Chain A
Amino acid sequence: MAFESLTERLNGVFKKLRGKGKLNEADIKAAMREVRMALLEADVNYKVAKDFCAQVSERAMGQEVMESLTPAQQVVKIVNEELTKLMGGDEPQYLHIKNKGQTVLMMCGLQGNGKTTHAAKLGKYYRSQGRRPLLVACDVYRPAAIQQLQIVGEQAGVPVFTMGTEKPEHIAQQAMAHARDHGNDIVILDTAGRLQIDDALMDELVRIKEAVEVDETLLVVDAMAGQEAVNVAKTFNEKIGITGVVLTKTDGDTRGGAALSVLAVTGKPIYFQGTGEKLEDLEPFYPSRMASRILGMGDVLSLIEKA
């Protein structure tokens, strides 16, 4: 699908208003309608988009238009700054890995979002940093889930702990003992995909967290998700308490508004993004890049940086 960039959209709105002058209420209102449409087309949640536009309007009101920018560019600049702020700033954030003992990471999320693949990607990533990770097969339901983890574990050069279809909390506990005995300093738990409304399976995650001390509970979110991403993230956070997000399948052409929605409702950072099916396809998450991707603002950002 061809996307019109936000600047193009806004140029239409500001046709009359050229160069100097202040941004007035009517202009801003018209501009915010365009911003809102762009956000919705990018799958930013309806309510999140509404709040965001209110915030941007407030800041834009009465602003002097800069010499160096058109009014459209000026609004894009404000939108970009606010969006980047909301997404967590300019710099990527990193998981907190302890220097002593074991750090436990638990992958959780909806079915098919990329938990198993990203457990292995993280294993490979930390192994390349000289750590000694261990993958743990806590998905005891999905057909061939354990074999899948064994295969990707082998590809990543990371050992995999399995106990068949025992209770996941029990497997996690035994894995900790195994990790201590074998000198594994990062323990990555792969769990089964589940719906946030499935109470029995959500309780299972709580039981895992009671059985072992989980340091980072990572919600794995598909970047192609739409309006419901908000409710998924909110409920996972309320029921089991997440500490961060891994955004997957960003190698597609999705605008990725789900990222903003998830951040807005949980306030938890996105640590990594998945950029492909291969195990090296893992990158730190740059909030500012994602902001310009969501709204198609890449075109003016270089210009704005100079302003």
Chain B
Amino acid sequence: EKTRTGFFQNILNTLTNCQIDDDLYNDLEEQLILADVGPACAVRLVDELRDEVEKNHLKTGEEALDALRGIICQELTPRYPLELDGHPAVILVIGVNGVGKTTTIAKLAHLYKEEGRRVMLAAGDTFRAAASEQLELWADRAGVPLVQAGQGADPAAVIFDAVKSATAKGYDMVIADTAGRLHNKKGLMDELGKISRSVKKASPEASLEVLLVLDAITGQNAISQAEEFCRAAGATGVVLTKLDGTPKGGCAVSVWENLGLPIRFVGVGEKIDDLMPFDAQTFVESLLPEVPAHKED
């Protein structure tokens, strides 16, 4: 059924969208806004498209759509790989409450273990009810060891211990969980700074990636989240979760536009292998699936 309407829609599009006009630009802008790219960023991207249409003498709606996809795709393609060559390679996972940090850690542990790395987890969420029980179950499923302390323990100390222990036992990667926190809570954000400093203290040879987890359904608040997590904890990349739902995850585009944080992985489900490296092409195709059909109103 879906492909059938898609098919007729496309015929309609080729009939109505031969020309590139203001309606088309408006519709593309609307698509971007509906995907949570945000009004300001959507306007900026469509302006870039106008320039490109003029420069390259584009004619049809399809060509314009491809050009817009191209613009976004080029911007989102990470320019350098993750830094994972330290001893150990540490990945610190941060973000607001409930976005999928703990689940993402399980998925990362699984991924890197399959790649032949020796992975250890650190239960840096010592606050939330049953957080370490949850991570313990995931560690078992992934088949990796976990360093944990009691409820209320100092998270920086737990992560320090994990990095020390990994170094001593010959593990080459530590993935650390942290408690969810809203980015406008100063005390909790300062704690993150302390946590990330504890990594180098435990091992000067360690490398550190700080991945900010964003729920794909997040709206424009994602920008504020990214700003604060960059400031307090030096976030280096984004994991966009719950892309198996209906949201397009356009908030990550505005985060890129505003802060230059590359998207590294996408979460596409609740199972341990539901994590994929970020692919800009696939992402952009789902962000802008087809030429919008012109509406009457």
Contacts and interface: CB of A to CB of B under 8 A. Distances in A.
B36 A1 contact: no
Interface stretch (A80-88, A121-129, A253-261): A253-261
A229 B221 CA distance: 14
Given A46-B30, A155-B129, A254 B39 contact: no
Interface in A219-234: 222, 224-229, 231-232
Interface stretch (A97-105, A146-154, A161-169, A265-273): A146-154
Contacts of B133: 143-144, 147-148
Interface stretch (A57-65, A108-116, A296-304): A108-116
A144 to B, nearest CB: 4
A40 interface: yes
B13 interface: no
Interface in B222-271: 222-224, 227, 242, 244-247, 250-251, 270
B11 interface: no
B155 interface: no
B221 A224 contact: yes
Given A42-B220, A43-B219, A252 B96 contact: yes
Given A226-B218, A229-B217, A229-B219, 7 more contacts: A195-B244, A224-B218, A224-B222, A227-B34, A227-B36, A228-B247, A258-B219
A114 B222 CA distance: 18
B245 A225 contact: no
Q: At the interface, is chain A mostly helix, strand, loop or mixed? A: loop
Contact of A40 (B33, B218, B244): B33
Contacts of B12: none
- Give the dominant DSSP class at B's interface: loop
A227 B183 CA distance: 21
Chain A interface size band reads: 35 or more
A112 B96 CA distance: 10
B35 A227 contact: yes
A225 B137 contact: no
A144 B34 contact: no
A41 B221 contact: no
A188 to B, nearest CB: 16
